[in-house]
Structure 1
Amino acid sequence: MSSNLTAIELLNLGNEGRQKPVLNQYWPYLLGTFFGVGTGVMLNFGTKRPLFSGIQKHIAGVVVWTSLLTYVTNKREEYLAEKDAVLRHYIQLHPDDFPTPERKKIADVLEPWVPIR
């Protein structure tokens, strides 16, 4: 980044042509499966049955946990998108509050080095 970036450019930086990482796409399904099967196992353990008996409990747990985690993920993404939109709108309405920062050299930022012996 050789040039000075405005606040809007910084907010939009890196979003063009970007797709979600693979783990972020599938985490509700992975965790839903883990917690759903775990819920069935814990229910069977609590009632002193074989851990993987009653497969309908495991399937129902996977469905419930996956649905819940998918809903939470969608709500989180909506919240973050709305937050970004509000920030973008505020920056557009108040450009004088966000001046373009002046360029600094590393030598101006670092303090002089004094060896302590």
Structure 2
Amino acid sequence: MSSGSESVFARYFYPVAFAGVGVATVVITNIVSRRPAISGIQKHIISLGTGAVLGEMFYNRQKRITAERDAVIRHYIQLHPEDFPELEPKKYKEIFEPWLPIR
């Protein structure tokens, strides 16, 4: 499901973020309970894995939703080509505003 033009940051953001939130939750729970922050390492490992799986599921859901939305838009454009005429490429002088230096 991964595309070649996608950055590493965009691909792994949700799994890493969800895993980090899971571990942070366990650490905060330990601190509030007046235990050492790293005690119960099994909880940290389980929350890390659970967070990564949930983040991957969220990432896949987002990809599926955006792919479906893009397919609907592409289909609409194919059915109504008169609403989307081909545009001629603009020249740079049409894009940029004149530059007036202020001194």
TM-score, normalization: structure 2?
A: 0.77
CA contact (8 A) 2:15 2:59 kept: no
Query: When the two structures are aligned, how many residues end up with a matched partner?
Result: 101
Unaligned runs of 5+ in 1: 1-16
CA contact (8 A) 2:27 2:37 kept: yes
Unaligned runs of 5+ in 2: none
Identity of paired residues, percent? 43
Q: State the distance in 2 between where 1:48 and 1:72 align.
A: 33
Q: Secondary structure at the match of 1:20?
A: coil
Task: Say whether 1:52 aligns with 2:45.
Answer: no
- One-letter amino acid of the structure 1 residue matched with residue 58 of structure 2: V
Point out which structure has higher relative CO (alpha carbons under 8 A, 6+ apart): 1
Q: State the distance in 1 between where 2:89 and 2:12 align.
A: 41
Q: Select the residue among 80, 88, 101 that pairs with 1:102.
A: 88
1:100–1:26 Cα change, 3 Å: same
Q: Select the residue among 11, 15, 18 that pairs with 2:4.
A: 18
Q: State the distance in 2 between where 1:114 and 1:21 align.
A: 38
Q: State the distance in 1 between where 2:6 and 2:99 align.
A: 43
Q: Secondary structure at the match of 1:19?
A: coil
CA contact (8 A) 1:39 1:58 kept: no
* CA RMSD between the two structures: 2.5
Which region of structure 1 is more displaced relative to structure 2, 35-44 or 24-33? 24-33
Q: State the distance in 1 between where 2:22 and 2:94 align.
A: 56
- One-letter amino acid of the structure 2 residue matched with residue 37 of structure 1: V
1:43–1:95 Cα change, 3 Å: same
Matched residue, 2:67: 81
